[in-house]
Amino acid sequence: MSLRRLILAAVLSALVLAGAAYAQPKNGVVRPSGETKLPPRELGSQLYAGNCSACHGIDGSGQRTPRKTTEGIEGQGPSLRGVGARSVDFYLRTGYMPISEPDEQPVRRRPLFSDLEIRALVDYVSSLPPPGPPIPKPHPERGNLAEGYELFTENCAGCHQVAAQGGVTTGARVPPLTDASAVQIAQSVRIGPYLMPRFSERQISDEELDSIIAYAELAAKEPVDEGGWGIGHLGPITEGMVTWYFAAVVLVLVCLMIGRRLRA
Amino acid sequence: MTTSPDGEHDSHDIVAPGPQSPRSELAVAALLVAAAVSAIAFIVVYSLEKFSTQHELLGITLAASFAFVAAALLLFGERVLPSEEVAEDYPEAAAPMEQEEVAKVMEESTSGITRKRLLVGAGGTAGGAIGLAALTPALSMGPWIDVAPLYRTPWRPGRRLVDDKGKPYKAEEIEQETFYTAFPEGSSDRNLGASLVVVRVDPAALRLPPERAGWAPEGILAFSKICPHAACTVAIYQKPTYGPTQPGPALVCPCHYSTFDPAKGGEVLFGPAGRPLPQLPLTVDAGREIRAGGNFSDAIGPSWWGIEMEEPH
Amino acid sequence: MIRRTVNFLDSRTGAVPFLRKSLRYIFPDHWSFLLGEIAMYAFIVLVATGVYLTLFFEPSLAETTYTGSYKPLQGLAMSEAYRSAVELSFDIPSGLLMRQTHHWASNIFVAAILMHLLRVFFTGAFRKPREITWVIGLLMLFATLLEGYLGYSMIDDLLSGIGLAIGYGVALSLPVVGANLTLGLWGGPFPGDPAFESRMYVAHVFLLPILIGTLMAGHLALVASRHHAQFKATKRATERKLVGMPAFPAQVPRSLALMFATVAVLFLLGGLVQINPIWQWGPFEVSQGTNGAQPDWYLGWLIGSLRLVPGFDVTIGDYTLIPNPFWGGALFPLVVMAVLGAWPWLERRFGGVRGFHNILDRPRDVPGRTAFGFAFFTWVALIFLAGSADRATVFFGLDYESQVVFFRGAVIVAPIVAFFVTRRICRELKRGEEIGVDKERAEEEAEEEAQEAEREKEPAPA
């Protein structure tokens, strides 16, 4: 009976651990009242003060050493001076910002701000001097798929996987590009969010970037699955799962149908 | 059911009577007809002009015809043919008489030989030598003895670094927070020792070993792109957007995640690699083009017994 | 008609007495005895589809330019091998069906071998007189792993090139002879001589299939000669008497049904589920890599072990005695093979299991072996799981480095736990049964006594 108790204890502790891992700190957004009535820049300024300034500084020049705010957040973060609409739009529309801890990896999720709020924040932060780059306007339809494939393999596949399904590096998870829009791919190539390298126009021209986006969108969103169900475009891992969870199970069932089962 | 010791039903009937089911026979026939129809459907799908689901239909029709035959056979075996249980003795564990006879034949045939050892020795020598002779032509497959090719790289002092289209890299082109793949000018890029990953770091952040002073002009560093663990490509360069709270710059191999610190001359930070990533010394010439300053710090590629014995050349 | 044919055959070949015996050859009936058959049928599919593929595949590294119908590769330089494999997939009717079915069959071939191996291990079917059959089976398994590796490696796509690079690294890591052996096989430093492609090809389509086929024939011949082992399914089944179904008419339709079912599953997968979409990986170049590069599942245990070993080379001065990939890529599979290969003799030496065994064990009846087996396969399975830790990071957000630390501990702790838990479970199950048997016997006795008492009460018939 101690065996049963042992198993129970193991299951319980596993549940407790799993619960602890999922208990995320609350991430509420502070909103001014009567948002729609405020002029965009004023709305942006107020949203910034309430939601961003703890880490990025009240004037947008960053917070180099951790500083405890009144809400108990250990605020720390880079300067936003000169990052431009390109960065602000990217980080907010991907849901990358805000994060709850300064050392947390931003991951894609539903944006915490509404479209109106994002536009206001982009307007406000990009108005802080010096001026920064605008939101890019890529033209993937002008791109060349073969050139895009080559550039993607050389510069992106090491992290994002050759079929753009995401991956891992030692410091971070790498997102798949299945949810990334053309604009977001263009933004991230130029910005280099989190641990991603930052590719300038000198290294990858805007024309080359169009080709990369054309290929990435094909690979991630409309892959050519000539052979049937694509099972994630990951190769052997999902293939092994189909082998065991489908084929082996079906064939064992056939064996069970044909052969005798031993009565205990 | 009773059976005789040799597993037979009785002296006249060998096989026990079957279940007698005319309905099952009909079902078997129907399944076989279905199999034939599926097979013909396969032929039809094959002969059509290519269309989008043709591949899937080919698979389904062929699989269906085999599945119908499987079902027919199963039914045939279970419901039409007799299913009997019979018993039989296992074969004898051994045949001692024959064992003895084999031993005797061997002994008696060779008992007249006086120089047994000599003959065995000579026979063994002949067999071994002929075996070696038969294997010798396999030496032509590659340099089995001469391991020098493993130390060879195409890098020479003064050789320019070019991109995959053959254009030389200039120092100004190399920016921080990104990476470049470079090849030796005028060399086949299929060679393991050819490809480089080039990055630029803040010169103040460099922590190179003292004997590599001057290997990274203006903070530009070059490493072999081939992982010293298992020959995969070091295809990842990660850099923090915001240094104080994010992991530092690193070169990573995406096969087994060996991680190297570029600022410390390729030192291993994580993962299974047993040696640092080999670094190539660089110089910037008067025309601002980047050139190799020599050969790699260590032999490139995965470790083997002599990897530390010689410098790359 | 039947008699005339038989007579014709017999008088020309003298084979009818043998045929007579074969028809009534006895197969003991249990579903788990069919797992090995699945492997054999998958092998038949592999040979058939493989021959078809050789009609189109061009094993050459000569450079060419792609002009087929997959847009992202158009105009790119690649090898003839890769180009012909992509063309086979896109532009040759039923080519992709055969290629995918071939690949699925390889995955299922090894899966069936493994299931069969587990059945044989846990029921003690490897014991005397069947040790050679067991060893041949293991050799077949390892020949199959190499066969599969060469099969997807010779396509020269990005994944296969990465797989070959790792194979090259592991081969180089063999102590003392690694560099010589590797340079000899590859014909030079990686990617080697262009003839290396031909070497892989001849091994994959000729040498290894013949080796596997020969081993399979030997395996089956030995099974037939010693007859199948059996469970004690009925009272009549004993160490000396085999009880089961005759090959004909009972077993043949059932086995054929299993064969057709296996072929059906393979073609169904080949048609509906995409496997190794090589066009999406692109051609291989030494300077390129991709995240999440994995081998086929049956080599997943090796990528796991390569990733778990901490980073060190064992050196004596300038002599590198043991390069790192040796531990995970070479020593680990060799240890697994050696332990399994030596197991029948280990069990005889240390388990005191001697004599002939035609009656199979139920796993619970041999707690020691079952517990060891669970511990051993838990060890291998955990290392296998560690090979997909990077994807667990992508899907579940588990930190990769922490997973590596976790698995390093788990591969030591979990087998020990598995050993004791399994042994305990076996013993409890046994005890439960004994109690059940005792109870049954007691009930029977009580009933008999009651009946007797009744009889005594009844007045004797006049």
Average pLDDT of B36-53? 95
Task: Identify the pLDDT of residue C1.
Answer: 85
pLDDT of residue A160: 96
Q: List all chains that touch chain B, counting a touch as 3 or more CB pairs closer than 8 Å.
A: A, C
**What's the confidence (pLDDT) of residue B3?**
44
For the stretch B246-278, pLDDT in tens is: 999 999 999 999 999 999 999 999 999 999 999
List, as ranges, residues 269-288 from C with C-beta within 8 Å of A: 269, 271-277, 279-282, 287-288
Residues 39-68 of A with CB under 8 A from B: 64
Residue B140 lies inside a defined structural domain of this protein: no
CA distance A167 to A179: 15
Name chain C contacts of A242, Cβ cutoff 8 Å: 269, 273
Kindly tell me if the per-residue pLDDT of C158 is higher than 60: yes
Q: What's the confidence (pLDDT) of residue B297?
A: 95
pLDDT classification of A24: cutoffs 50, 70, 90: very low
Q: Alpha-carbon distance B225 to B233, whole Å? A: 6
How many CB atoms sit inside 10 A of residue B136's CB? 9
**Phi, psi (5° rounding) for residue C168?**
-65, -45
- What pLDDT is stored for residue C233 in this prediction? 85
Residue C449, min C-alpha distance to chain B (Å): 33
List the single best residue of B20, B229, B251, B275 to mutate versus C (max C Cβ within 10 A): B229
Contact A168 C295 (CB under 8 A): no
A167 and C289 within 8 Å at the Cβ level: the answer is: no
Residue B181 pLDDT grade (very low, low, confident, very high; cuts 50, 70, 90): very high
Place of tokens 């061997």: B106
Least confident of A70-84, C165-179, C317-331: A70-84
- Residue B136 lies inside a defined structural domain of this protein: no
Of C115 and A34, the one with more pLDDT: C115
- Lowest pLDDT segment from B96-100, B214-218, C346-350, C432-436: C432-436
Which of A47-61, B80-94, C146-160 has the highest mean predicted lDDT (pLDDT)? C146-160
Q: Chain A contacts of C290, Cβ < 8 Å?
A: 153, 157-158, 161-162
The reply to whether residue A202 touches residue B178, judged by beta carbons under 8 angstroms, is: no
- pLDDT higher than threshold 90 for residue C111: yes
Q: Which residues pair with A195 in a beta bridge?
A: none
Q: Identify the three-state secondary structure at position A259.
A: coil
Ramachandran angles phi, psi of B169, nearest 5°: -80, 140
- Within a 10 A sphere around the Cβ of B100, how many other Cβ atoms? 10
Task: Read off the pLDDT of residues A162-187 as tens digits, 9 standing for 90 and up.
Answer: 999 999 999 899 999 999 999 999 99
Range of the domain at B68: 1-87
Contact B90 C240 (CB under 8 A): yes
pLDDT of residue B8: 46
Does the structure show a pLDDT above 50 at A20?
no
pLDDT at residue A1, as a whole number: 37
* Confidence at A11, pLDDT banded by 50, 70, 90: low
Please tell me whether residues B180 and B266 are part of one structural domain.
Answer: yes
Residue of C nearest to B308 (CA): C318
CB contact under 8 A, C285 and B57: no
Are the beta carbons of C289 and B253 closer than 8 angstroms?
yes
Looking at the structure, tell me whether residues B156 and B68 fall in a common domain.
Answer: no
Is residue C285's pLDDT more than 80?
A: yes
Q: How much is the average pLDDT of C116-130? A: 95
pLDDT tens for residues B285-294? 999 999 999 9
pLDDT tier at C170, thresholds 50, 70, 90 = very high
pLDDT tens sequence across A113-134: 999 999 999 999 999 989 999 9
In chain C, what are the domain boundaries?
Answer: 22-282+295-325
Is C185 part of the contact surface with chain B (CB cutoff 8 Å)? Answer: yes
Integer Cα distance of A109 and A86 in angstroms: 19
Residue C80 has pLDDT above 90, yes or no: yes
Asked whether residue B309 is domain-assigned, the answer is: no
Q: How confident is the model at residue A9 (pLDDT cuts 50, 70, 90)?
A: low
Provide the pLDDT for residue C449. Answer: 82
Domain co-membership, B66 together with B162? no
Contact list in C for residue A3 (CB cut-off 8 A) is 421, 424-425, 428
In chain A, what are the domains? 32-127 (1.10.760), 140-221 (1.10.760.10)
User: Within a 10 A sphere around the Cβ of B17, how many other Cβ atoms?
Assistant: 9
| Contact map slice: A 82-121 vs C, CB within 8 A | 107
Residue B15 has pLDDT above 60, yes or no: yes
In a domain, B188, yes or no: yes
In A, residues 167-226, which contact B (CB 8 Å cutoff)? 167-172, 191-200, 202-203, 226
Q: How far is the CA of C333 from the CAs of C122, C224, C294, in angstroms? A: 20, 30, 17
Does one domain contain both B178 and B45?
no
Q: What is the DSSP letter of C181?
A: H
Which of C232, C34, B80, C70 is closest to A264 using CA atoms?
A: C232
Given a cut of 60, is residue B1 above it in pLDDT?
no
Task: Report CB contact under 8 Å: B308, C320.
Answer: yes
pLDDT above 90 coverage of chain B, percent: 80
Residue B103 has pLDDT above 80, yes or no: yes
pLDDT of B148 over the 60 cut: yes
Does B144 fall in a domain? Answer: no
Q: How many CB pairs under 8 A join A and C?
A: 205
Averaged pLDDT of chain B = 92
pLDDT band at C458 (very low <50, low <70, confident <90, very high): low
Cα dihedral sign, A50-A52-A56-A60: negative
A19 pLDDT more than 60? no
- Of the candidates C72, C115, C424, the beta carbon closest to that of A146 is on C72
> Which chain A residues are within 8 Å of C116, Cβ to Cβ?
none
- Residue C371 touches partner A, C-beta closer than 8 Å: no
CB contact under 8 A, C180 and B144: yes
Of C235 and C107, more confident: C107
pLDDT of residue A262: 60
Three-class secondary structure assignment of C271-316: HHECCCCHHHHCECCCCCCCCCCCCCHHHHHHHHHHHHCCCCCEEE
Sequence-ordered list of residues with C-beta below 8 angstroms from that of A116, at least 6 positions apart, any chain = A35, A36, A43
Residues of chain C with pLDDT > 70: what percent? 99
Q: Are residues B80 and B189 in the same domain?
A: no
**Is B159 in contact with B185 (CB distance < 8 Å)?**
yes
The domain that contains B201 carries what CATH number? Answer: 2.102.10.10
User: Which homologous superfamily does the CATH classification assign to the domain defined by C22-282+295-325?
Assistant: Cytochrome Bc1 Complex; Chain C (1.20.810.10)
CA dist C252 and C87 (Å) reads 40
* C119-137: average pLDDT: 95
Residues B174, B58 share a domain: no
Which of C71, C100, C394 has the CB atom closest to A145's CB atom?
Answer: C71
Chosen for mutation from B241, B256, B267, B270 (greatest number of chain A CBs closer than 10 Å) is: B241
pLDDT-based confidence at residue C247 (cuts at 50, 70, 90): very high
Partner-chain contact C74 A145, CB within 8 Å: yes
Q: Which of A11-15, C153-157, C393-397, C434-438 has the lowest mean pLDDT?
A: A11-15
- The pLDDT of B196-203, averaged and rounded, is 96
Domain count for chain B, please give it.
2
Tens-digit pLDDT profile for residues C171-186: 999 999 999 999 999 9
Positive or negative torsion for Cα B191, B194, B199, B204? positive
Q: What are the pLDDT digits (tens) for C19-35?
A: 999 999 999 999 999 99
Mean pLDDT taken over chain C = 93
Of A64, A172, A192, the CB nearest to B177: A192
Q: Binning pLDDT at 50, 70 and 90, where does residue B7 land?
A: very low
